[in-house]
Structure 1
Amino acid sequence: MNKSATIYTSALCPVCGMVKTFLDSFEVPYKEVNVDMNPIAMLKLIGKTKKLSVPQTNINGKWISGFNPEKMFQVIND
């Protein structure tokens, strides 16, 4: 199965870069959604995750909050 991801980020978030680097290392393509100037995307994200923080990453329908390499690796290899 092809893996794909969406990462919700902010420009001031150093952890967001760590998530992108991790996904790049496993060649997982991703779409980045910066919520800084996009209140609609932020509201949708809060509605889906019930969290106010970034990064929030969706890999093939599974949400991962923050930088959690173990969980990300598990989801990538499912």
Structure 2
Amino acid sequence: MDKKVTIYSKEICYYCTMAKKYLDKQGVDYKVVNVSKHPEEMEKMIKATGYKGVPQLEIGEEWVVGYNPKQIMKKLKSIE
């Protein structure tokens, strides 16, 4: 499944790991951005959503804040 998906995460983040495993299980290709190493990407994320916490997933042009499989799947289907 070729989707435009970016996951914003930190190295030590249980829910980030869960989100990545979920995407792997669904066969979704995604890009990982470590916001600890790329503060400019963290600013982009905060500007887009108003939230500092991770994981946040940019799916197409929409965002999912936190690890929420139902929302992730809904957004993935909307960009098919």
Q: Same fold (TM over 0.5)?
A: yes
Deviations 1:27-64, CA, capped at 9 Å, x for gaps: 11100000112221111111111111000101111100
How far off its partner does 1:3 sit? Answer: 1.8
| Aligned-CA RMSD value | 1.5
Q: Does 1:77 align with 2:62?
A: no
SS in 2 for 1:25: helix
* TM-score (ref. length: structure 2): 0.88
Point out 4+ residue stretches in structure 1 off by more than 2 angstroms.
none
Counterpart residue type for residue 76 of structure 2: I
Q: Does 1:25 align with 2:25?
A: yes
Counterpart residue type for residue 57 of structure 1: L
SS in 2 for 1:77: helix
* TM-score (ref. length: structure 1): 0.90
| Structure 1 unaligned spans of 5+ | none
SS in 1 for 2:58: strand
After superposition, residues 1-78 of structure 1 pair within 5 angstroms as 2-78=2-78
Counterpart residue type for residue 37 of structure 1: K
How far off its partner does 1:76 sit? Answer: 1.7
